[in-house]
Structure 1
Amino acid sequence: MNYQTFQPHPDLEALVKFYWTLEVPFDPNNQKQKIIPDGCIEMTFNLGDNIKRYISDSEFILHPCAMVMGQRTKSYYIEPVGHVNSFAICFYPYGFGNFVNTPLKNLADKETPVENLFGEIPAKELEQKIIQATDTQQRIEIIETFLLNKLNDNTTVENIVRTTVDALVSTNGSTPINTILKDDLSKRRQLERNFKKQIGISPKQLGKVMRLQAALKMLLNNNENLTDIAYESEYFDQAHFIKDFKEFTGITPKEFLGDESMALSTLFYK
């Protein structure tokens, strides 16, 4: 697997986390790979062969060639049918809402064709430019021109949402929402409503995903024991950490480290 990340233009760095590319040569022995929620929305262009997403043990759908993957609230399996060659834009939780008027809760846990969000003709033109580009740098220039042209002050994410996301990011999702809002219940209702529209999931769900991300990185990179990881990630205890981990991945942290279907997720989080 060849996975690389690239930083965005300064004018977009507050909204775009990074760009990434992934190339995986075809191997008939390739297994399904489980993808874990990461709290971000991604726009992906498939430049290689089709990729399946499983909706049950045996049933699957094929990813659109140009799509937006909304916020994920659960893990899912994918499997390439041939050579993988992907180019993608990873947006911060409040990033993608600046480019579309569609409520982002409508995109959660599914793949939406780019043309459904930006119109058929502009989307097809963008997809063709991305496909015909000669290298990653040219693709980055193409998508950045597209995004900068789309950027519109009228779709800017409301301050209450941005402030909450910033607080969650800075504490790896461990800050209680009531603490951020200082127990103001009227703000809580407003936040819940705007968050689902502009981020795609609830503040609590995003916080749980971010905390899991921090724990995953420690698990993969520091080889600490589970109790230390649990407390450093501000779970109540090891049992609480394992419960949340299984909720998102379907397996325990120890099982994760030896599971070949987690190879792609391991690559992303290292």
Structure 2
Amino acid sequence: MSKYQYRPPCRELSGYVQYYWMLDLEDVCPSCEPHRLTPQGFMEIVFYYRDSYKLILSDGEESHPRATLYGQRTEFIDILPTGRVGLMSVVFTPVGVRDILHLPLNELINRYVSLEEVLGREGKDMEEQMMNLASFDERVDGLETFLLGRLQRRNEFENNRMRMVMTRLLQCRGMFNVEQLAGYACLSKKQFERVFSTYVGLMPKQYLRVIRFLYAVEFRNRMPEVDLATLAFHTGYYDAAHLANEIKALTGHTSSTLFQLMCFSEDADSIEWFLGV
């Protein structure tokens, strides 16, 4: 039996954190299946506080960090729980993460790194604290103290500019091109690409691709009866083949397999929380 819990951030972190979530599986799984992490449009820190996880690679497996910072993704990875599942995550807003982590976000694309590797002793202390706390609320309170201590508001003008761009981008379901977004931001295309990648971690074209995919998944979850051609038409793809190819490239699944998996996955809830639908 699984138990999911969600909580929004405190007011001071509302522009930086989207939400926190925790998953506990009550039963030990002796032969767990790998879980596929697909592009989600955000960065997050995940604490695996029960049995360890492994990363599934083409040439074998390797141990996964107990406290992992996931960068923006344009491709998928597979992780494998080795027993009883327990994890806690903080999901950052697409723009706000920079003022908390103080890292070059574009160097974290498609990477997962231990919190200790990027934050040193501070990251290791946070990992140990998450391992020792018992309840969801205790973990959230500990995380918020940690995040507030790291929060440094730097360029509020550019922060607000990028937040406005992100709001517009999400409202239009990614059906913009880079030139339109640059114009909305009152920047040249080259300036916009530089600022966007600094604050979000992906180039605008890469991010638009991810957002269109997420809206396609969300649309299909709401209307499971629609066929692929209709779904493509409503979510900004040229045709069904274009959408099917994008799903395969971003998730490694066929469209039919992905939609079947999403019906039974917490990822569907995660997408809805992120898109605000």
The TM-score normalised by the length of structure 2 is 0.87
Work out whether 1:257 is the aligned partner of 2:277.
no
Letter in 2 for 1:108: I
**8 Å Cα contact 1:52-1:80 kept in structure 2:** yes
Work out whether 1:213 is the aligned partner of 2:214.
yes
Local SS of the residue matching 1:30 = coil
**8 Å Cα contact 1:3-1:267 kept in structure 2:** no
Letter in 1 for 2:213: L
Specify the alignment match of 2:242 in structure 1: 240
Local SS of the residue matching 1:137 = helix
Work out whether 1:143 is the aligned partner of 2:104.
no
- Count of aligned residue pairs for this structure pair: 268
**8 Å Cα contact 1:100-1:155 kept in structure 2:** no
- C-alpha distance in 1 between matches for 2:125 and 2:95: 26
Match of 1:227 among 226, 229, 235: 229
Specify the alignment match of 2:275 in structure 1: none
Q: 1:203, CA displacement in angstroms?
A: 0.9
**8 Å Cα contact 1:35-1:264 kept in structure 2:** no
- C-alpha distance in 1 between matches for 2:214 and 2:185: 28
Residue deviations 1:79-108 (CA, integer Å, cap 9, x gap): 111111000100111121111222011222
Residue deviations 1:167-191 (CA, integer Å, cap 9, x gap): 2222222221211223999621122
Alignment of 1:43-122 (within 5 A): 43-56=45-58, 58-120=59-121, 122=122
Residue deviations 1:26-85 (CA, integer Å, cap 9, x gap): 3223212222110110011110111112221x4222221112111111011111111110
**What is the alpha-carbon root mean square deviation over aligned residues?**
2.5
**8 Å Cα contact 1:98-1:155 kept in structure 2:** no
Q: 1:83 to 1:267 in 2, by over 3 A?
A: farther
Specify the alignment match of 1:126 in structure 2: 126
**8 Å Cα contact 1:101-1:155 kept in structure 2:** no
Local SS of the residue matching 2:79 = strand
**8 Å Cα contact 2:165-2:184 kept in structure 1:** no
Q: 1:140 to 1:202 in 2, by over 3 A?
A: same
Residue deviations 1:170-225 (CA, integer Å, cap 9, x gap): 22222212112239996211222233333221111111111111111222232122
- C-alpha distance in 2 between matches for 1:268 and 1:55: 25
Alignment of 1:19-30 (within 5 A): 19-24=20-25, 25-30=27-32
Specify the alignment match of 1:202 in structure 2: 203
Moved more, 211-220 or 221-230: 221-230
The TM-score normalised by the length of structure 1 is 0.89
Letter in 1 for 2:116: E
**8 Å Cα contact 2:95-2:159 kept in structure 1:** no
Local SS of the residue matching 2:28 = coil
Percent of residue pairs bearing the same amino acid type? 26
**8 Å Cα contact 1:33-1:263 kept in structure 2:** no
- C-alpha distance in 1 between matches for 2:230 and 2:110: 31
Q: 1:78 to 1:264 in 2, by over 3 A?
A: farther
Alignment of 1:144-223 (within 5 A): 144-154=144-154, 158-182=159-183, 187-223=188-224
Local SS of the residue matching 1:153 = coil
Gap runs ≥5 in structure 1: none
- Which stretches of structure 1, 4 residues or longer, exceed 6 Å deviation after superposition? 183-186
- C-alpha distance in 1 between matches for 2:105 and 2:114: 14
